[in-house]
């Protein structure tokens, strides 16, 4: 599973200014967001939900960021 890290980065920076500020908001290890944005760490569903809540993501944007390779009928993009 891959995450649309480019879009995630844009949303984080638009809302918080820096990844570090979002890390503080979530009370996560200071390197976790950086690892996610570099593709070195794939968050689990609970972490995705925490980020979505902190970013006020709507359902469509959540799916576009965290489920970019899955289509409604199961086809891979």
Averaged in consecutive runs of 10 residues, what is the pLDDT profile of the chain (77 residues)? 89 96 94 93 94 94 84 55
pLDDT of residue 30: 85
| Surface-to-core class of residue 66, CB atoms within 10 Å of its CB (0-12 exposed, 13-18 middle, 19+ buried) | buried
Which residues touch 9 (CB under 8 Å, ≥6 apart)? Answer: 19, 37
Q: How far is it, in rounded angstroms, from Cα 12 to Cα 26?
A: 12
Angle at 75 between CA 46 and CA 10, to 5 degrees: 50
pLDDT of residue 77: 47
Taking only the tens place, the pLDDT of each residue in 54-75 is 999 999 899 889 887 765 665 5
pLDDT of residue 26: 96
């Amino acid at each position: 599973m891959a995450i649309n890290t480019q879009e995630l980065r844009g949303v984080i920076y638009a809302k918080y200014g820096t990844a570090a500020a979002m890390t503080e908001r979530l009370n996560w290890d200071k390197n976790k967001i950086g690892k996610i944005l570099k593709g070195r760490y794939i968050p689990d569903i609970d972490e995705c939900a925490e980020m979505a809540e902190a970013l006020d993501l709507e359902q469509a944007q959540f799916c576009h960021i965290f489920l970019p390779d899955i289509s409604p009928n199961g086809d891979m993009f």
